[in-house]
């Protein structure tokens, strides 16, 4: 999942980036409100962490601008402005959650996970498709035959995105945008390597190739 972190405190972004990457997010950064507003529209991230006290344009203005333009990307406000009326203002402006500073990273990750689940209509941290289970907390997959698989970081990101959108056809470009960070995006041959690794884990027919379109999880089988 691609996550946009809009925060002007560079010490905080330096500390958060490895934590967020370790949780399976491809992290993009903006350090002011103007760049943040642009990237929130341009990158079409899956989640956004938004500070309020930003240079250039404050976070509430950025959020209101997105919502007025129809941008529905889930947003968690992360800010030192944590009075009750400020939380109310943030939620009324269109935020999906609000966390005050200082904070515990475990709580931040749990809130992001909860927002992502709600966005995808899931009630738990497990995704299921064709007998395969993916625990998004432990990043561990269980095959239809019961084998437990420890996935690499890219394998986890790719499988999670496919299982969150199991009925969509995904172009290589779309998958690459949601799995890799902008400066790390790989050519299509590398993505094919990871698709083939997932097929080795879960069966060749688990991921279908749609000629000229991309990839799609095979339909669920009925008993």
- Average pLDDT over the chain reads 92
What is the rounded distance in angstroms from the CA atom of residue 133 to the CA atom of residue 155?
Answer: 14
Residue written as tokens 């760049």?
35
Residue 185's pLDDT is 65
Residue 6's pLDDT is 98
What is the rounded distance in angstroms from the CA atom of residue 172 to the CA atom of residue 77?
Answer: 31
Q: What is the pTM of this model?
A: 0.85
Q: Helix axis angle, 153-164 relative to 172-179, nearest 10°?
A: 120
Eight-class DSSP state of 182: G
Residue spans of alpha helices (H) in 48-187: 59-68, 84-92, 105-120, 153-164, 172-179
Residue 18's pLDDT is 95
Strand pairing report for 47-50 and 132-135: unpaired
Residue 222's pLDDT is 61
44: left (phi over 0), alpha (psi -120 to 50) or beta: left
Altogether, the residues listed in the chain come to a count of 223
């Amino acid at each position: 999942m691609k996550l946009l972190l809009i925060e002007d405190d560079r010490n905080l972004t330096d500390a958060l980036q490895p934590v967020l990457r370790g949780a399976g997010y491809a992290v993009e950064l903006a350090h002011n409100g103007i760049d943040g507003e642009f990237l929130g529209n341009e990158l079409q991230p899956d989640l956004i962490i938004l500070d309020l006290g930003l240079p250039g344009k404050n976070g509430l203005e950025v959020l209101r601008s997105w919502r007025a333009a129809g941008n529905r990307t889930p947003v968690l406000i992360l800010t030192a402005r944590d009075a009750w009326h400020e939380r109310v203002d943030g939620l009324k402006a269109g935020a999906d959650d609000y966390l005050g500073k200082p904070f515990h990273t475990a709580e931040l990750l749990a809130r992001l996970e909860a927002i992502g689940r709600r966005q995808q209509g899931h009630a738990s941290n497990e995704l299921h498709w064709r007998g395969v289970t993916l625990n998004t907390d432990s990043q561990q997959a269980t095959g239809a035959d019961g084998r437990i698989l420890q996935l690499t970081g890219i394998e986890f990101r790719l499988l999670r995105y496919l299982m969150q959108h199991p009925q969509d056809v995904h172009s290589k470009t779309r998958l690459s945008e949601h799995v890799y960070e902008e400066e790390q995006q790989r050519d299509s041959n590398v993505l094919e390597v990871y698709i083939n690794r997932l097929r080795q884990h879960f069966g060749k027919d688990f991921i279908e190739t749609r000629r000229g379109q991309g990839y799609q999880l095979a339909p669920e089988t009925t008993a």
